[in-house]
Amino acid sequence: MFRLLKIYLIPGSDQKLRTSLRNVLGFTPLNISLYRKAFTHSSAANQVKDGSRESYERLEFLGDAILSSIIADYLFKKFPYKDEGFLTKMRSRIVSRNQLGKLAVKFGIDKFIEAESGLAGRSNSITGDVFEALIGAIFLDRGYVFTNRFINEKIIRYHLDMDDIEANDTDHKSRLIEWAQKNKKELRFNLVEESGTGQNKLYVIEATLDGEVMGKSSNQSKKKAEQSAAELCVQALGIGQS
């Protein structure tokens, strides 16, 4: 049996959690149950009738779409003369797992995550997902206009340096594809294992160059597993290092 670990989860009543979130986010949540769910990993979630668990994955899905939409709108207006390729790359860097994980820590959101003790060491890889789930919770709680204002005023204005983001490439898969094409290498992302169902589904991806495995990663999202495998490959090859 795993022991449940509440990573700095604020104990007590809904009012205490509501007050703590107001101090972190700058506004008072209305439907506090949405935020509790946003901070709950599937390993610590209660099972419901259909066998699924009341965890952050559905809110993460919604938050990902909302955040991407608002970031796309911001970039479209900020860079009126840039083409769609540039805008797509910038959006990918802003909503990358690494970037969102850093934002979660800056806001102190990582202190509210509830997960199995066995996942405590992986909390850094979970924080980005939780950040997206939080955006989903804010959207359902307060609506699109409020969420748009929150992202622009609380996140973009104070926590995102566009010049720095433009200068740093965190889309590891794109970098790897460009490198492979330039060096005439055959790059493949192979799905080597697929297990679980529903919210507990897990994908294992291998990144290979000319048949040699250079990176291997697993995630509940196939896209994220590919990015992580690509990152390991980029590191192994020393791409971008001076």
In the block, tokens 């779409």 appear at: 65
Whether 132 is catalytic: yes
Whether 50 is catalytic: no
Contact 66, 139 (CB under 8 A): yes
Active-site entry in 110, 114, 129, 132: 132
Active-site entry in 57, 60, 64, 226: 64
- Residues labelled as active-site residues: 64, 132
